Structure 1
Amino acid sequence: MNSILKNYGSIILLLLGITIGSLIGRFTPQYVDILKPVGDIFLNLLFVSVIPLLFFAISSSIANIEDSNKLGRTIIIMTIVFISTIIIAAVLTIAGLWAFPVTAIRDASAALDPLTGNANETWGDRIVRFLSVDEFGNLLSRKSILAFVIFALLVGVATRKSGEAGKHFTAFLNAGNKVMENLLTLIMKAGPIGLGAYFAYQVKTLGPELFGFYAKPLGFYYAFGMVFFIVIFSVYAFLARGGKGVGSYWRHNISPSLTALSTCSSLATLPANLLASNKMGIPKEISSIVVPLGNTLYKNGSAISSILKIYVAFSILGWNFFEPSTLITAVGITLLVSMVAGGIPNGGFIGEMLMISIYGIPNEAVPSILIIGALVDPLATVLNATGDTVAAMLVTRFSGEKFKADSIEA
């Protein structure tokens, strides 16, 4: 019981806050106007923390990559594996939502147009606006989030190339990353109150019908996620090493899966993943690179939930999710979510801020996105964490390295 409270206490408190807020919105709506500013303050704190957190998380992860003889080749193959399999997860989720649509609430007051900029903009103008800004100060706005991510990546690369002179700056990035992780953890302690207050507003505005809406997307995530976990990961293991790969992966994946489920933390699962990688026969020169970087940069569970949350937000707002440009953007956002969620506590919220910023999603849909992200966290963590080892198997296969047969039965 103590272990459950320790690992799931934040989710339990969040559910409690949402429940109390819902009851207030349903039975004492006269108090909602008093509570809504509390929710607004909480959301604003998330918005202002996203920029520095992104900078330190991305820059420090790049700056800390150490050079080695096989690093370049391994990273190239790893990047291809990460990107291609995340795109597969996103596309399969889109297909699943198309085949099994989630009934959405349509509310006239929430049916707003996306903030896509000037209607006369060309695609070239939009690409320039999304990928760059003309002044440094504009980078600090969440409206320029893509340009900021690119800048943070370049800072990390430049730090690595600075050699000895860049070590002090690397230490600064590492310290900043830790500070911002703790800041996000601190802000999220107010999540039960902030989201509860905002949920009271939603219940008053949209009515009790809102509860039926959440059951279906959550049911879709857990059903689809389990099928993805069992079937797709088995396919990846088979591609990496045939039937032996499937047996080895599932035999040694039990401990990381249980660790991820019990802790709801990809970072806490990292030691178990490294041990499992050795037992699967993955060469250490590959597992020591792919698994730790995958812990930060590779998130199947976040990819699936990212698509689902975009779908939910568009459904609430009455927007067309299945428009080609929207789907292409959704896949792109999913790649970014996988890069920045990482082992950061509540890192999924950063991906949600990316989505909100890029699509210009108004506040009406924000709590729904945050709530779904919290409720899918246990299975998302399992998918995120255990995907690292199967990715390392694929990297081993495509890099031409040999599995260590004597480690299979370890």
Structure 2
Amino acid sequence: MERQTSNFLRSYGSILLLLLGIVVGSFVGGFFPGTVVWIKPLGDVFLNLLFAAVIPLLFFAIASAVANIDGSQKLGRIISTMAGVFLGTILIAGVCTIIALWFFPVEAPQAVQEPASTLLEDDPNDTWGDRLVRFVTVDEFYKLLSRENMLAFVIFSFLLGVAAQRSGEAGAPFRRFLLSANEVMKHLLMLIMKVAPLGLGAYFAYQVGTIGPALFGFYAKPLGLYYLLGAFYFAVFFSFYAYVAAGKTGVRRFWKNNILPSATAISTCSSIATMPVNLAAAPGMGIPPAVANVVIPLGTTLHKNGSSMSSIIKIYVAFVLIGWDFFEPMTLLTALGITVLVSIVAGGIPNGGYIGEMLMISVYGLPTEAIPAVMIIGTLVDPMATVLNATGDTVAAMLVSRFALGKHAVHSNEGGEADGME
């Protein structure tokens, strides 16, 4: 009995502490909202530690994985399969949202707030080509080390890994360095996560104490629809994806190891902060390291089911507000195209969807009275969107393992355990 209790605490002790921190934080935020201004710095410290660690962790995870892929795990097959999985799941999420809006329409608000100030400080004379160049590249190396240039940083890390892989024997010491540094950064992550119950509890207190009351305000119906649809997609579609990847065992492993990533995502509203936790959870899900270390970091920037769904909701609310027909065929096709773009431009930082919202407004030429609605919806759906964005990366990695490496790839990578499809 004592041994069973010890094993239980060893397996779930950190999760129980995390849940305790979240419950206490929610209680404090709900009943003592005046204290959240004093508690939030604790969450900021934890989040800053994650952000400071994530740049080198991201670099070594991607570069070492790409540089050390062996002949049986072709990089091209993994990348091409990943692209198909990302695109497919993003479009499925968008289409599901369109169907839900068709059956559960949202009525136009009775009043419009004053337009918000512009959040995207681009030169008005820039072309989309200029913005694309700035987004995927930088002109100085030091700029790669900023979260504002995450996609450029991911591309650089990937290309460096390819170069190291192709360098042959001369690059062997460098490849070993990448592997060693990746292990060091993983242990640093484990140290930072020791304070996760305190840090995430503080963030829950802040969110409940500040954002929570707004959920009962003016945009309750579209918000309610998004959260219900998001929860449905999270439970049903992610289970389906895990089943496709590895049968019933895949579903069990995914949900068993998805608790901490989900809690981190919903409390920090940050895909980047959740990415290290996803990497730590991947072995328990049976995802091969060669796949996890490529798909999960790239997915943090490029794969966003929640942003796909929220962009459809935001476009729909804006169209209803100004009296435009959202269900016109070209509008729907454009909306699906925007969901793919938003999944790229919406960075993995808190409230990073603002850039995607500016893209949406620019593409459709929406009038200024639609901007506040888009901003409000974008801010309030961020917790659920982040959960779908971040935890969708691990289930996508399971699918990539299944289609790129074979049907037994996921089963053979949980602590050396191998079991067949159920």
TM-score (norm 1): 0.63
Question: CA offset at residue 267 of structure 1?
Answer: 1.2
Structure 1 residue 71: deviation in Å?
A: 2.7
Q: Does 1:294 align with 2:292?
A: no
* Counterpart amino acid of residue 102 in structure 1: V
Matched, 1:269 2:274: yes
Shift of 1:228: 0.5
Are the counterparts in 1 of residues 62 and 297 from structure 2 also a CA contact under 8 Å?
no
Residue 352 of structure 1 aligns to which amino acid in structure 2? Answer: E
Give the distance between the partners of 2:351 and 2:364, measured in 1 at CA: 21
Report whether the alignment pairs 1:93 with 2:97: yes
Secondary structure of 1:218 counterpart:
helix
- Structure 1 residue 264: Cα displacement: 1.7
Q: How does 1:7-406 map to 2 (within 5 A)?
A: 66=63, 68=67, 69=69, 70-105=74-109, 140-141=123-124, 144-145=127-128, 147-148=129-130, 150-152=132-134, 156=137, 169=139, 171-175=141-145, 177-178=147-148, 214-401=219-406, 402-405=409-412
Residues 229, 176 of structure 1: alpha-carbon distance in 2 compared, 3 angstrom cutoff = closer
Deviation at 1:142, TM superposition (A): 7.7
Instruction: Name the SS of the counterpart of 1:267 in structure 2.
Output: helix
CA gap of 1:148–1:319, structure 2 versus 1, over 3 A, is farther
The aligned residue for residue 46 of structure 1 is: none
Structure 1 consecutive aligned stretches of length 4 or more whose deviation exceeds 6 Å = none
2: distance between equivalents of 1:409 and 1:265? 32
Shift of 1:269: 1.0
Distance in 2 between residues matched to 1:4 and 1:142, nearest whole Å: 46
Give me the TM-score of the superposition, normalised by structure 2. 0.61
How many residue pairs get aligned? The number is 290
Question: How far 1:180 sits from its partner (Å)?
Answer: 10
Amino acid at match of 2:310: S
* 1:407 Cα deviation after fit: 1.5
Deviations 1:143-190 (A, max 9, x none): 844x4454457x64xx8xxxxxxxxx5624414654899xxxxxxxxx
CA distance in 1, matches of 2:376, 2:111: 19
Measured at CA, do residues 143 and 368 of structure 1 come closer, stay the same or move farther in structure 2, by a change above 3 Å? farther
Aligned residues of 2:269 and 2:349 also touching (Cα < 8 A): no
Question: Would you say the 8 A contact 1:301–1:379 is kept in 2?
Answer: yes
Cα shift at 1:343: 1.4
Q: Is the 8 A contact 1:107 1:318 kept in 2?
A: no
Give the gaps of 5 or more residues in structure 2. Answer: 1-20, 38-57, 115-121, 152-215, 418-422
SS of residue in 2 equivalent to 1:325: helix
Check conservation: 2:319, 2:325, Cα contact below 8 A. yes
Aligned residues: CA RMSD: 3.5
- Quote the Cα distance in structure 2 between the aligned partners of 1:142 and 1:320: 30
2: CA distance between counterparts of 1:321 and 1:238? Answer: 34
Question: How far has the Cα of 1:74 moved from its partner?
Answer: 1.4
